[in-house]
Structure 1
Amino acid sequence: MAGQIPLGRLLPRHAADRVTGALADTRVVLVNGARQCGKSTLVGLIGRSRDAEFRTLDRGAVRQAAVFDPPTFVTSDRLLVIDEIQRVPELLLAIKERVDTDLRPGQFLLTGSARVLGLKALPDTLLGRMETVELWPLAQGEIDDGPDGFVDAIFELGPAFRHRTSETRSGYVSRIVRGGFPEAVARTPRRRTRFFESYLADLVNRDVIQLMDVQRGAELRALTRLVAARSGQLLVPGSLAGPLGLSQRTVERYLTLLEEVFLIKRIPAWARSPSARAVRTPKVAYVDSGLAAAALGHDESSLGRPDGQLGGLLEGFVLSELARQLSWSAQLADLFHYRTKDQVEVDAVIENRRGQVVAIKVKASTMVRGEDFAGIRHLSARIGTDLVVGVVLYAGAETLSFGDRMLAVPIAALWERPQA
Structure 2
Amino acid sequence: MAHKLPRSPIGRLLPRHATRAVEDALEDTRVVLVNGARQCGKSTIVAQIGGERGGTWRSLDRAATRQAAEFDPTSFVREDELLIIDEVQRVPELLLAIKEVVDADPRPGRFLLTGSARVLGLRGVPDALPGRMETIELWPLSQGEIEGRPDGFVDAVFEQGPGLRHQSDELRSGYIDRIVRGGFPEAVAREGRRREAFFDNYVADIVNREVMQLSEIERGHEMRSLIRLLAARSGQLLVPGALAGLLGLPQTTVSRYLGLLEEVFLIKRIPAWSRNLSGRAVSTAKVAMVDSGIAANLIGQDAASLRRLESPLGGLVEAFVAMEMARQLTWSRTRAELSHYRTKDQVEVDIVLEDRRGRVVAIDVKASATVRPDDFKGINHLAARLGGDLLAGIVLYAGTETLPFGEKNRALPISTLWELGS
TM range (shorter): over 0.9
Which residue does the alignment assign to 1:364?
367
Q: Which runs of 5 or more structure 1 residues have no equivalent in the other structure?
A: none
Tell me the distance in 1 between the aligned counterparts of 2:413 and 2:21: 29
Which residue does the alignment assign to 1:57?
60
Q: Tell me which of 332, 355, 362 is aligned to 1:352.
A: 355
User: SS at 1:403's partner residue?
Assistant: coil
Q: Do structure 1's residue 263 and structure 2's residue 269 form an aligned pair? A: no
Deviation at 1:342, TM superposition (A): 1.0
Q: How does 1:201-280 map to 2 (within 5 A)?
A: 201-272=204-275, 280=283
Deviation at 1:6, TM superposition (A): 7.2
Pick which of 142-151 and 279-288 moved more. 279-288
Which residue does the alignment assign to 1:93?
96
Deviation at 1:211, TM superposition (A): 2.9
Let me know the Cα RMSD of the aligned residues: 1.8
Q: Tell me which of 363, 382, 385 is aligned to 2:385.
A: 382
Deviation at 1:222, TM superposition (A): 0.5
Deviation at 1:393, TM superposition (A): 0.3
2:144·2:418 contact (CA, 8 Å) conserved in 1?
yes
Which residue does the alignment assign to 1:326?
329
Distance change in 2, residues 1:210/1:119 (3 Å): closer
Q: Tell me which of 283, 287, 291 is aligned to 2:290.
A: 287
Opposite residue 40 of structure 1, the aligned amino acid is: S
2:69·2:94 contact (CA, 8 Å) conserved in 1?
yes
Q: How does 1:397-408 map to 2 (within 5 A)?
A: 397-408=400-411
Opposite residue 356 of structure 2, the aligned amino acid is: R
1:121-171 deviations in whole A, cap 9, x for unaligned?
666200110000000000000001000000000000001100000000000
2:36·2:115 contact (CA, 8 Å) conserved in 1?
yes
Q: Do structure 1's residue 168 and structure 2's residue 167 form an aligned pair? A: no
Which residue does the alignment assign to 2:43?
40
Q: Tell me which of 392, 396, 401 is aligned to 1:393.
A: 396
Opposite residue 97 of structure 1, the aligned amino acid is: E
Which residue does the alignment assign to 1:343?
346
Tell me the distance in 1 between the aligned counterparts of 2:139 and 2:171: 25
User: SS at 1:246's partner residue?
Assistant: coil
TM-score, structure 2 as length reference = 0.95
1:291-345 deviations in whole A, cap 9, x for unaligned?
0001111110111111111000000000000000000000000100000111110
1:38-74 deviations in whole A, cap 9, x for unaligned?
0000000000000000000000000000000001100
Which residue does the alignment assign to 1:186?
189
Tell me the distance in 1 between the aligned counterparts of 2:49 and 2:86: 13
User: SS at 1:385's partner residue?
Assistant: helix
User: SS at 2:419's partner residue?
Assistant: coil
1:347·1:362 contact (CA, 8 Å) conserved in 2?
yes
Tell me the distance in 1 between the aligned counterparts of 2:53 and 2:192: 38
1:57·1:87 contact (CA, 8 Å) conserved in 2?
yes
Deviation at 1:213, TM superposition (A): 1.5
Q: Do structure 1's residue 9 and structure 2's residue 18 form an aligned pair? A: no
User: SS at 1:298's partner residue?
Assistant: coil
Distance change in 2, residues 1:122/1:331 (3 Å): farther
Q: How does 1:32-181 map to 2 (within 5 A)?
A: 32-120=35-123, 124-181=127-184
Tell me the distance in 1 between the aligned counterparts of 2:17 and 2:127: 30
User: SS at 2:311's partner residue?
Assistant: coil
TM-score, structure 1 as length reference = 0.96
Tell me the distance in 2 between the aligned counterparts of 1:369 and 1:18: 40
1:218-277 deviations in whole A, cap 9, x for unaligned?
111010000000100100011111221101111111011101100000000001159x99
User: SS at 2:89's partner residue?
Assistant: helix
Aligned residues between the structures? 414
Which residue does the alignment assign to 1:195?
198
Question: Between the two proteins, what is the percent identity of the paired residues?
Answer: 67
Tell me the distance in 2 between the aligned counterparts of 1:267 and 1:22: 27
Opposite residue 232 of structure 1, the aligned amino acid is: G
1:89·1:117 contact (CA, 8 Å) conserved in 2?
no
Distance change in 2, residues 1:21/1:240 (3 Å): same
Pick which of 327-336 and 208-217 moved more. 208-217
User: SS at 2:236's partner residue?
Assistant: coil
Opposite residue 332 of structure 2, the aligned amino acid is: S
Tell me the distance in 2 between the aligned counterparts of 1:59 and 1:117: 22
Distance change in 2, residues 1:273/1:108 (3 Å): farther
Which residue does the alignment assign to 1:310?
313
Tell me the distance in 1 between the aligned counterparts of 2:105 and 2:128: 15
1:108-128 deviations in whole A, cap 9, x for unaligned?
000000115334466620011
User: SS at 2:166's partner residue?
Assistant: coil
Opposite residue 246 of structure 1, the aligned amino acid is: L
2:119·2:125 contact (CA, 8 Å) conserved in 1?
no
1:268·1:277 contact (CA, 8 Å) conserved in 2?
no
1:162·1:418 contact (CA, 8 Å) conserved in 2?
no
Tell me the distance in 2 between the aligned counterparts of 1:342 and 1:388: 24
